[in-house]
């Protein structure tokens, strides 16, 4: 059974109703095809924009939905329930849109935010480099200031929808070493010198394209620098705080899908003359799965409520990302186990759920980095 809606307000219920309808009519029948072809579901992003769901947590006067972040996460959980790779794409788009909304000038909001929040454009986010992942402040991509522009040179890795997005938020070095030497730039598609170098082959998330990007003396206008010079790392981390909640909601939605598929399978599958689910050993596993999911859901919604109330939430966001995605890994692994041989073959979705869960433990700060963030907050 999908997430409990009893305590949601009328707007939230309407939102969840709409997304579930979209999910079961459009996403569920499409997911297998896109995943097996490794094809970006461009049409679905356009449909999401038509439904007015591409910029839910951003101001209405800039094309957004004017909704609290908590409501946006309901959307993400429901999307992930049907189609994880798509939910990831939407979460990454929101990461980019968040930064423009938070740090953009009025002109940038007019030019870029309105397009992103309405879904006319979709955005991507690019921080990682081949030698700078968890140690993001060590990034080496250079941005040299010239007359009226910056010249960006270097290479980026692991950029979700880097080639498909209309604009990519790219972090590059304008100053000296360390976090204070980094600035953020809005790099538009088709900018000369900016291109997708290689699309990675991945274990999961196969229809969410992951790119190595090349910046070869790409010229970026000064008015496309987001925030001040040297503010880029702060922007990158603030976006991640917010984005972590999206990944947590993805974990919960994915785990819920795995549990529901497992409940269906184990109640139908009979061995020794009874449904597999009638065995206490199996029921205990199902009980643990559902409890983990529900606990995670409460954690990410609590963090989101803090965020909506204007409170500091970065500790809770890290806890939610850590817990929900570890829970997703455990739940999907058990889902495969409870499907027996059918869990290991591609005819059933359980193996895809398990492959997809692994990525969630790695992105937007590995779960080891989340523990580092949490530990540092607790002891400082």
Site residues, another protein (CB under 8 A): 11, 14-15, 18, 21-22, 50-53, 56, 65
Contact 267, 275 (CB under 8 A): yes
Shortest distance (Å) from residue 29 CB to another protein: 15
With respect to another protein, which residue has the nearer C-beta, 75 or 259? 75
What is the residue whose two structure tokens read 């869960």? 357
Residue ranges with strand state E in 132-181: 142-146, 149-160, 167-173
Residue from 241, 150, 229 nearest 187 by CA: 150
Dist. CA 352–CA 35, nearest whole Å: 9
Shortest distance (Å) from residue 30 CB to another protein: 15
Shortest distance (Å) from residue 71 CB to another protein: 10
Q: Are strands 182-188 and 167-173 parallel, antiparallel or unpaired?
A: antiparallel
To the query of whether residue 347 is one of the catalytic residues in this protein, the response is no
Helices then strands (H, E): number in the chain?
A: 13, 10
With respect to another protein, which residue has the nearer C-beta, 16 or 276? 16
Residue from 90, 361, 364 nearest 207 by CA: 90
Dist. CA 188–CA 185, nearest whole Å: 9
With respect to another protein, which residue has the nearer C-beta, 71 or 266? 71
Shortest distance (Å) from residue 14 CB to another protein: 5
With respect to another protein, which residue has the nearer C-beta, 14 or 43? 14
Q: How many CB atoms lie within 10 A of CB 201?
A: 8
Shortest distance (Å) from residue 53 CB to another protein: 6
Contact 231, 183 (CB under 8 A): yes
With respect to another protein, which residue has the nearer C-beta, 61 or 312? 61
Residue from 298, 293, 286 nearest 327 by CA: 293
Contact 290, 257 (CB under 8 A): no
Helix/strand/coil (H, E, C) string of 152-163?
A: EEEEEEEEECCC
With respect to another protein, which residue has the nearer C-beta, 47 or 132? 47
Q: Annotated catalytic residue: which of 35, 129, 164, 364?
A: 364
Dist. CA 87–CA 70, nearest whole Å: 15
Q: What is the DSSP letter of 276?
A: G
Shortest distance (Å) from residue 22 CB to another protein: 7
Catalytic positions:
364
């Amino acid at each position: 059974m999908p997430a409990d809606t009893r305590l949601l307000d009328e707007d939230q219920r309407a939102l969840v109703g709409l997304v579930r309808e979209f999910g079961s009519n459009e996403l569920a029948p499409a997911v297998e095809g896109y995943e097996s072809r490794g094809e970006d579901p461009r049409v679905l992003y356009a449909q999401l924009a038509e439904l007015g769901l591409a910029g839910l947590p951003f101001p209405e006067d800039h094309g957004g939905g004017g909704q609290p972040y908590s409501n946006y996460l309901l959307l993400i959980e429901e999307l992930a329930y049907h189609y994880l790779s798509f939910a990831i794409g939407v979460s990454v788009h929101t990461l980019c849109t968040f930064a423009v909304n938070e740090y953009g000038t009025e002109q940038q909001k007019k030019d870029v935010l309105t397009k992103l929040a309405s879904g006319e454009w979709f955005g991507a986010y690019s921080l990682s480099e081949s030698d700078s992942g968890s140690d993001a402040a060590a990034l080496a991509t250079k941005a040299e200031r010239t007359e009226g522009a910056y010249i960006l040179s270097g290479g980026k890795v692991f950029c979700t929808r880097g080639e498909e997005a209309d604009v990519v938020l790219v972090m590059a070095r304008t100053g000296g070493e360390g976090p204070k030497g980094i600035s953020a730039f809005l790099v538009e598609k088709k900018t000369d010198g900016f291109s997708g170098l290689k699309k990675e082959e991945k274990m999961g998330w196969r229809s969410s394209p992951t790119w190595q990007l090349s910046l070869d003396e790409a010229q970026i206008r000064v008015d496309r620098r987001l925030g001040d010079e040297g503010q880029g790392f702060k922007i990158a981390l603030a976006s991640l705080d917010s984005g972590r909640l999206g990944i947590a909601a993805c974990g919960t939605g994915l785990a819920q899908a795995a549990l529901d598929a497992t409940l269906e399978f184990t109640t139908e599958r009979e061995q020794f003359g009874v449904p597999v689910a009638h065995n206490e050993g199996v029921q205990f596993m199902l009980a643990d799965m559902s409890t983990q999911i529900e606990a995670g859901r409460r954690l990410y919604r609590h963090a989101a409520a803090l965020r909506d109330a204007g409170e500091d939430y970065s500790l809770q966001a890290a806890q939610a990302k850590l817990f929900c995605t570890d829970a997703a890994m455990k739940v999907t692994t058990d889902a495969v186990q409870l499907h027996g041989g059918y869990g290991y073959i591609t005819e059933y979705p359980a193996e895809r759920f398990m492959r997809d869960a692994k990525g969630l433990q790695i992105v937007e700060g590995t779960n080891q980095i989340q523990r580092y963030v949490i530990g540092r907050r607790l002891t400082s």
